Structure 1
Amino acid sequence: MRTNRFEGFCSACAQHVHAGAGHLTGTPGAWRTWCVACSPRPPQRGDHDGWHRLPLASLDLETTGTDPLRDRVVSYALLDEPGFEITGLVQPGVPVPEAAAQVHGITDAMLADAPTPAEALPVVLDWVQTLVERRVGLVVFNACYDLSMLRAEAVRHGLAQPDWARLLVVDPYVVDWGVERGGLGRRRLGDVAAYYGVTLDGAHDATCDAVAARQVAVELAARHAHVGGLDLDTLMASQRTWYAERAEDWNAYARTAGRDLDDPAGWPLVG
């Protein structure tokens, strides 16, 4: 949810809400204003068993840009069982654009002595394969971006790839859409984390984002039994459906606005 930029009346209690004093949800043409007391909140945690009580790994990448097939990895964080954390920098072989450096704080100077992708990324790819073999779910927020970039880097540098088809992915970005159907508006990692009471210190730091994404995934499952009660294979199928529905929802707007279309089959890998 975002703060309301304009004054309005609460959708629940009709109280006058001054600009900046409440929240805004919805999509263009269907905005709703809320006072603080009536703002949407997630349900309480349930006592159901589910995948949120299983070991979950988490991955996050920081990169040179927003195109998963052409941009490059500059840092990574791998989180697994308690005490397992691997992080590293990567010399991408191309300059880091100023716009990207302003987001994650990683500059060309910081990467001068970092290992190349061919040296650094086998660690990431090999670890992903261990998750496949162990049947451990991998949490990745907006998985089609990070995983597609990782696969593109592997192809670019001739690196051995994991068995992507058997990888169990938990994508809080997609699960959240499946729960809320876009009704709460923009839902970046910081937005979803705040909604579920998850602390996100140092956004756009790979480790901080990986930690927060895993915690958000657990909260989603713990607070929504119809999601948390699924086994991971069924969750994979549900996420593919939710992603496709979200893509079609976006495409209906994009076709009228001359915007790029999303591929409904583009999860968890683009192309």
Structure 2
Amino acid sequence: MSWHLGRMAAFDLETTAADPETARIVTACVVQLGGGQPLSPATWVADPGVEIPDEAAKIHGYTTERARAEGRPAAEVVEEITAALGQVLAYGIPIVAMNARYDLTVLDRECRRHGLETLLDRYVDDVIWPVIDPFVIDKHVDRFRRGSRTLTALCQHYKVKLDGAHDSAADAIAAARVAWRLGATRPELATMDVEALHHAQIEWAREQAEGLAAYFRKTPGKEHQAATVRTEWPLIPHQRTGGDA
């Protein structure tokens, strides 16, 4: 059976910032779906412990006041999200995440911030896998298509229903639907097993990042951004600093 017909665990975060090194989790969803079994969602709202910038609140709808009123302590939420993802990985169920490099890195840094074992620490050996990233796959199979590559744009392109953008549950389910469409419409993807697909994405993500860095280097006014591009996928390795324990 092709990977896109099996069980998946879609994962999405809404956060306080675009930088995964500093972003704090506000809402999260891990939803198991597919494989001929019922939908099994788990959702969280966290009080991130910091002020939520207005620009972030406008995207996902959670102000600082709302997160404090409705959210649970961040450490509890981070622990439960990590445990949920670890459980699905233990059963060999792939994680589906749109731009997985961001979400998995945010989760990793949140674990470290709260003194918790990371997904790498407790569930897997040196790597997090299998992961399916519609952002990386789409850019590889249709690299010359012009226009946006946001989740909303991919849903429009692949004729996938998006029930409410920037809601973690809606975004997670939509990412899984895009992954399914990619597998259903691209025979070269459907014939790959999930391990081969995972390792192919590592290379595709590296090539895409190198291309972006090259673009920045040759674009006036953007040269400095080249140094910020990371090639690792699906997780940016943690860099220890003098303040780390």
TM beyond 0.5? yes
Rate the CA distance shift 1:68–1:166 in 2: closer, same or farther, 3 A.
closer
**189-198 or 252-261: bigger deviation:** 252-261
Residue deviations 1:117-158 (CA, integer Å, cap 9, x gap): 111111110111112210001100000000000000001101
- Measure, in 2, the Cα distance between the counterparts of 1:175 and 1:77: 22
Per the TM alignment, residue 167 of structure 1 is displaced from its structure 2 partner at its CA by 2.4
Aligned counterpart, 1:263: 230
Per the TM alignment, residue 182 of structure 1 is displaced from its structure 2 partner at its CA by 4.1
Aligned counterpart, 2:115: 158
Aligned counterpart, 2:143: 181
**77-86 or 167-176: bigger deviation:** 77-86
Per the TM alignment, residue 186 of structure 1 is displaced from its structure 2 partner at its CA by 2.0
Secondary structure, counterpart of 1:260 in structure 2:
helix
Residues 194-233 of structure 1: pairs in structure 2 closer than 5 A: 194-233=156-195
Larger of the two Rg values belongs to structure: 1
Aligned counterpart, 1:253: 215
Secondary structure, counterpart of 1:89 in structure 2:
strand
Aligned counterpart, 1:148: 105
Match of residue 191, structure 1, among 141, 153, 157: 153
> What is the TM-score normalised by the length of structure 1?
0.79
> What is the TM-score normalised by the length of structure 2?
0.87
- AA in 2 matched with 1:57: A
- Measure, in 2, the Cα distance between the counterparts of 1:221 and 1:184: 21
Which structure dedicates a bigger proportion of its chain to helix? 2
- AA in 2 matched with 1:97: P
Residues 83-102 of structure 1: pairs in structure 2 closer than 5 A: 83-102=39-58
- Measure, in 2, the Cα distance between the counterparts of 1:80 and 1:234: 22
**157-166 or 119-128: bigger deviation:** 157-166
Runs of at least 5 residues in structure 1 that lack an aligned partner in the other structure: 1-48
Residue deviations 1:71-100 (CA, integer Å, cap 9, x gap): 100000110142411111100010000000
Aligned-pair identity in percent equals: 34
Q: What is the RMSD of the two structures over their aligned residues, measured on CA atoms?
A: 1.3
Count of paired positions = 222
Residue 235 in structure 1 maps to residue 197 in structure 2: yes
Match of residue 17, structure 2, among 65, 84, 88: 65
